[in-house]
A and B are shown apart, each in its own frame.
Chain A
């Protein structure tokens, strides 16, 4: 069965600095999707970034980028120029190509220090 592991329960970073959140996963599939979702205190789930496994190029969305290492089954999220509004729980998620169901990591709480 597929699993997603986030080994950092909590991370903190100084405002304007860069932080990297780690995520590893286990699967025997070759086609799948990976996601990072953000959940601020309001508890909305907000899609941050998405990566298709067949794409070698790392996805980027403004200050957010990923380091996707398919062979190592690693999918880390880098947040550049951290802002106070980035403070939230961040969840890594995996989905097979043929199944819409998401497999979730346990989450990482990101604290931004002013």
Chain B
């Protein structure tokens, strides 16, 4: 099946640091990648939709200057949390999709800002 790799799986850093999370589709070319945030015991909250070579589309309430998304190729998208603060601590998960295939998910990144 389709494999999506997400790194790092765990990040602990100081407030004010910028953190980059990578999402790679390993065995297929992803037309679209999605970035989600998940709070404990809740469903996935879509942050943004990313298409290769174009600007990401952010959901209402998501700060695009805070959460920078780059989708430079059909196999790689990155999410950079800029100047992270404790309220940005969360579980971030990416997914990749192509044509009429289901979304395939990375294993997620647990971000803790001290």
Contacts and interface: CB of A to CB of B under 8 A. Distances in A.
Contacts of B104: 47
A101 B47 CA distance: 11
B67 interface: no
Interface stretch (B11-19, B21-29, B38-46, B80-88): B38-46
Given A44-B107, A45-B105, A50-B102, A104 B43 contact: yes
A107 B41 CA distance: 9
Interface residues of A, number: 19
Contacts of B105: 37, 44-46
A47 B102 contact: yes
A43 B111 CA distance: 14
A99 B44 CA distance: 17
Contacts of A45: 44, 93, 95, 105, 108
A101 B48 CA distance: 10
B97 A100 contact: yes
Interface of B: 31-32, 34, 38, 42-44, 46, 49, 91, 93, 95, 97, 100, 102-105, 107-108, 110
Given A44-B105, A46-B105, A91-B44, 14 more contacts: A33-B100, A33-B102, A35-B102, A37-B105, A43-B38, A43-B107, A43-B110, A45-B44, A100-B49, A100-B103, A104-B44, A106-B42, A106-B43, A107-B42
12 contacts: A33-B100, A33-B102, A43-B91, A43-B110, A45-B44, A45-B93, A50-B102, A100-B34, A100-B97, A100-B103, A102-B34, A107-B42
